[in-house]
A = this chain, B = another copy of it.
C-alpha cells in the first residue's frame, strides 16, 4: 500500500492511500479517516460509497463527515467508484464506465475484466483495510449518496449480520425501473433482468429487508427524483415493516450541501448502532 497523503484532521488523520487491486486489475485509491481513539485500539468503521462521477475525494472533502466521526470515535472509509486508468474501459457518458461502477461485478465485455466493484467493496478492500489499520471488523456500518446509496442499501441487505446499520442520501432506489440502472445493468450484467434483482434496493427490500436500523434522507427538491424513484422504496419499507426512518427533506436538492446538512444525523445514527 502506498500513502498518497496524510493530514491531521479533527484530532485524527485523514489519509489517502493506493493499493494494487487484484479484482479491479490495477491500482485503486481510497480515503480513510481514522480518529484519535485508534491510537488506543481498533475503532468501528463506517463505509461511505460515493455517487456517479465521484472519486474517493468528493465526500472526503465536501461532506464534513470527519467532524462527526471524530466526535463518535469511528473511522470512515471513502472508496473510489470504479477502476480507473488508460487500460480501463470507459464510455463517453458520465454515467457508464469510469466513475460509474454501480457496485456490481460486471459479466459483460468490455467491463467484465475490471469492473468488479461489488467484490472490491465487500471483500478485497475490507481485507486490505483490516490488515493495515486499527479498525474493528465486528463493528461496521455503511452509507452512501445517490449511486452510492444504492450500493450501501444493496450491500447491507446482501450480507446479513455484517453491517450494524445502513443509511443512504438520495439513493438510486429502483435501478431496474430507472434510466439510472437499466442502462448500466444492461451494459455490466447483460439483458437478463433476473440478474439485476440482486442489485435493486427495492426488490431486495421486498425479498428480505435489512436486519438492523435503516435511515434514508431524500431531498424533496432533488432535481433527479424521477431517476431515483424514492417512492417505491418507501412503499416497500413500510410493507416489510422494516425498522427504518425515511425522511423527505423540504427544499433540499441532490448536491453535497444536502449531504453535508444531514451528515451529523447519519453519523450519530450509525454511532448508536456501532456502540449500542
Contact = CB atoms under 8 A, between A and B. Distances in A.
Interface of A: 7-11, 14, 61-62, 64, 66-67, 219, 221, 251-253, 255-258, 260-261, 264
Contact of A8 (B7, B10, B258, B264): B258
Contacts of A67: 64, 67, 260-261, 264
Nearest to A10: B261
Given A8-B253, A257-B9, A64 B64 contact: yes
A40 to B, nearest CB: 17
B61 A9 contact: no
Say whether chain A's binding surface is mostly helix, strand, loop, or mixed.
Answer: mixed
Given A8-B221, A10-B261, A61 B64 contact: no
B64 A8 contact: no
29 contacts: A7-B253, A7-B255, A7-B257, A8-B219, A8-B251, A8-B252, A8-B253, A8-B257, A8-B258, A8-B261, A9-B257, A9-B258, A9-B260, A9-B261, A10-B260, A10-B261, A11-B261, A61-B61, A61-B62, A61-B256, A62-B62, A64-B64, A64-B67, A64-B260, A66-B257, A67-B67, A67-B260, A67-B261, A67-B264
Contacts of A14: 257
Contacts of A260: 9-10, 64, 66-67
Contacts of A66: 257, 260
